[in-house]
A and B are shown apart, each in its own frame.
Chain A
Amino acid sequence: DVKVTQSSRYLVKRTGEKVFLECVQDMDHENMFWYRQDPGLGLRLIYFSYDVKMKEKGDIPEGYSVSREKKERFSLILESASTNQTSMYLCASSRSGASNTGELFFGEGSRLTVL
């Protein structure tokens, strides 16, 4: 069964802490994405990566960075967490090129609370 796995379902951090959210996919997908989901705002793209060591800013990259050292793993980093980063974070992956049908495969999400 194909899967996107996010390492933590629930996290509670303090303002100013460095936070790592990990995501692993087992589908050999080239593309990986990080979204945040907030009520009334839907999903907003933070960063995405179309290859190892490649990254592109999405719509709301401020306050975030990412790392993709291996094809199957995509990490989201909050260098100094703030309360306005309290949210649900969703990782997704997809095929690329001619195989890209637009279908994203999502993890179950990581709910981060910053106090």
Chain B
Amino acid sequence: EAQVTQNPRYLITVTGKKLTVTCSQNMNHEYMSWYRQDPGLGLRQIYYSMNVEVTDKGDVPEGYKVSRKEKRNFPLILESPSPNQTSLYFCASRRKFETEAFFGQGTRLTVV
């Protein structure tokens, strides 16, 4: 089954404790992105990647890192999480010349 898989689905952590949210897609998509969803603000792009070893900042990249060492994986790293990073995070992927983006089920992160 074609899908985008994020882990974990839920995470509660403390300020300053490094964490990684994993994202994997099995559709051989070139493009992958991370978004955060906050009430009243919709989906805002954090980082994106056009292919292996090619990443760039989206609209709200501060406090986040990403890597794209393999085509299927695009982890989101929070080196020192802060409470303002409490949010619902989505990973998405799509083919280079197609419009439909496929989203993961989301990761709800709470930083206390």
The answer to whether A and B assemble together is no
Residues in chain B within 8 A of chain A (CB atoms):
none
Residues in chain A within 8 A of chain B (CB atoms):
none
